[in-house]
Amino acid sequence: MMTRLALALLLVSAPNQSFAFYLTGIRLQELCSQKNMSLELDSMLNVYMMGIVDSTAPIVEAMRPFCIPEGTSAKKVTEAVCKHLTDHPEGRSHRAGSLAATALLQTWPCR
């Protein structure tokens, strides 16, 4: 909860920053590829990924697009999505949320 609040405050307080209506895979890959990633950026990526995971929570289990095992860390989810973006550069112009969902489906399909 505290991390999400910090992210919201970061986004609101960004001076003269213009945000697109959605994050693209190109920008997400740039973030994933950062060398010596700051704690803030690492946290932001993890929160973004967990937001995608949380968005499926209301969906009946039998209809969920992916099934991440209980206890999987946000870091592991982020690593899976970042790996997918590296392995599939052809789709990076699409929305990051859709690409992340695809990565999670391929990594943790429901059986």
d(CA 24, CA 8): 19
Contact by Cβ (8 Å): 103, 81: yes
**pLDDT exceeds 90 at position 11:** no
pTM: 0.74
Q: How far is CA 48 from CA 3, 42, 62, 111, in A?
A: 10, 10, 24, 25
- Of all residues in the chain, what percent carry a pLDDT higher than 70? 81
Q: What are phi and psi of 92, to 5 degrees?
A: -65, -15
What is the pLDDT, as a whole number, of residue 16? 46
Q: Are 32 and 83 in contact (CB under 8 A)?
A: no
**Model confidence pLDDT, tens digit, residues 61-111:** 777 788 899 899 999 999 999 999 999 999 899 999 889 999 999 999 987
Q: Identify whether the C-beta of residue 96 lies closer than 8 Å to the C-beta of residue 26.
A: no
- Residue listed under structure tokens 């959605």: 22
For 59, phi then psi, to 5°, come to -75, 135
Going along the chain from its start, the domains and CATH numbers come out as: 23-107 (1.10.890.40)
Q: Which amino acid is at 24?
A: T
Tell me what pLDDT residue 60 has.
72
